[in-house]
Amino acid sequence: EGRRWYAIDYKQLQIAIFAYASGENELRDALLAGFDAHSYTAQKIFDKPIEEINKFERRVAKNVNFGFIFGASPAKIEQTAGIAGLWSTVIEIFPNAHEWIMEISDHVMRERYVQTLDGYKILVPHDKPYAGVNYIVQGSEGRLVQRAMQLCDEFLQGTDCQLIMNIHDELVFDCPDNGESDTIARQLALLMISAGQEMGMELGVDIECNEDSLDQGQKLSLFPEKELTDAVN
């Protein structure tokens, strides 16, 4: 009673980290423009406008994206998608990423470690070089979320708000149910964005205000002034 929770999470964080790390600038720019990563890949696979992509096609593309990132074989990706010859299309969609993945695998075979985007070394089993990309993506994700938690916790010192939970790439804050808490939530979201900038990434975030239940949140705009200006114009 008298409290509300703010759930702030990064938008498609693992895909974004992969795009930055691999140099897939087209995918990175699509994410920055607000496009859904799986719909973006689906339009390439099925050769149709992104607004015409259906749920099945998006699900296929989602399996392709995560299979590609986390080391699935070409045969496995084609089998999961149910599309023979899909691997050649995937390479065309992600030319830089395919080359980068090969380079990471070779590096692991030689050095037996990878580095996150902020330079933290992680050992990789020499018999699993394909796992190097996974370690980079999820390792960078962990380092980023830790940094975001640190920045937000420091900011909240002396306030009546606190960080109460971390759910993957989402941070949940408990605040008083008053007019000031929305402003604090937006500041926390900007701090989470700045954690990404420290690692060389521009990332999007979503804010949800939860007054009764965590699964019934209402979206909160990060820049309400901009939305108001756009509406007037």
pLDDT tens, position by position, 159-198: 999 999 999 999 999 999 988 999 999 999 999 999 999 9
User: Which tokens sit at 194?
Assistant: 């700045």
CA 23 to chain centre: 15
Q: What is the DSSP letter of 73?
A: -
CA 139, CA 92: separation in Å to the nearest integer? 27
* Mean pLDDT (10-residue bins), the chain, 233 residues: 95 95 92 91 92 93 88 87 88 90 94 96 91 94 98 96 95 94 96 96 95 87 65 42
Over residues 128-153, the pLDDT tens digits come to 898 999 999 999 999 999 999 999 99
CA 232, CA 94: separation in Å to the nearest integer? 40
What confidence score (pLDDT) does residue 225 get?
64
Backbone angles phi, psi at 42, to 5 degrees: -60, -40
E strands, the chain, where?
3-10, 113-115, 121-123, 162-167, 170-176, 205-210, 218-220
What confidence score (pLDDT) does residue 130 get?
86
Element (H, E) at 114: strand 113-115
